[in-house]
Amino acid sequence: MDSSELYHVKQQFVLVNPNSPDFIPTLVYQARSYIALNKSKAALQLIPSGSENVALKAVAALAKFVAAEETAEKEATLEELRGPFLAGELEEALETLGADTEDLEAVSVIVQIYLSINRPDLAKKEFERSKRWAEDDLLLQLIESLIGLVTGKDEYHNPYTFYTEQLGNPSLSSTHVLTARGVTRILRNEFHKEDSEALAASAVASGLSSTKKGETEANELWIRMTAEYPKHPSVIDIAKKSQLFDEAMAKYTVPPLASTAAA
């Protein structure tokens, strides 16, 4: 690190002007430094109470998570860490969770963020990295299943096996797991194709895919749906909305392109 870079780092620690555009990044930088030194309380003291800034709220939640000793406390602060993700502040969420983290809960959120922005390659990379240090944990299996649902690897074999196994647990009752297994079966085309509701659900499930193949399958299923079940409520509803759109569009005239004057 040369002298100019070192000087800038020192500035980051001593800058205290709240009106400066560098104030928030500097505060986050200082707080994360304290967290890295296992001084979570010092990090929390830096952050203004009641701040609505997403980055500051996220780093405060991270400090609480690191300082938490009880499982219940960690779960509560993990919900705060999900805040930036749910608020759409994906970059802030990734920055707060940190690269190369060895906390499996944080890895789970990171993977979900990558999947939400259509980067299953980065999600898989994060998963492969975590396998080197994490035990064969239930959460690790869930992460792998989430990636499998998005990528469709091996005909969705991994998520299908995982959710089927979890449903076989007599002590577990979860509508989320049941729904996830149902979605997996739809993606594997394991449904009665003559059933209109199953066909409609399959079209929706295929449309949720981030791949070109999924988009093509969704279009093909919807064309079939409109042909075989023209009286289905979904078909009628979308047809009405399409008609309303065409009527609204007809009220506007697109002006012709301006022709370029001859030189």
Task: Report the chain (263 residues): mean pLDDT per 10 consecutive residues.
Answer: 58 53 78 86 84 77 76 62 58 63 79 84 88 81 90 85 85 79 84 76 79 83 89 91 90 74 49
Tokens describing residue 168: 């076989």
What's this model's pTM, rounded to 2 decimal places?
A: 0.46
The reported pLDDT for the residue numbered 72 is 61
Strand ranges, E, within 2-53:
none
| Cβ neighbours around 93 below 10 Å, total | 23
The predicted pLDDT at position 49 comes to 77
Name the nearest CA neighbour of 202 among 242, 234, 248.
Answer: 234
Short-list 44, 62, 42, 51, CA closest to 18: 51
Contact between residue 184 and residue 159 where contact means Cβ atoms under 8 Å apart = yes
Q: Angle at which helices 104-116 and 90-97 pack, to 10 degrees?
A: 160
Of 232, 141, 137, which Cα lies nearest the Cα of 180?
A: 141
Q: Whole-angstrom distance between the N-terminal and C-terminal Cα of the chain?
A: 57
Sole residue written with tokens 């309380």: 41
pLDDT value for 263: 47
The confidence score (pLDDT) of residue 16 equals 47
Enter the DSSP assignment of 256. P
**Residue 43: closest CA among 88, 6, 77, 91:** 77
Q: How many CB atoms lie within 10 A of CB 25?
A: 14
Question: Cα(123)–Cα(128) distance, rounded to whole angstroms?
Answer: 9
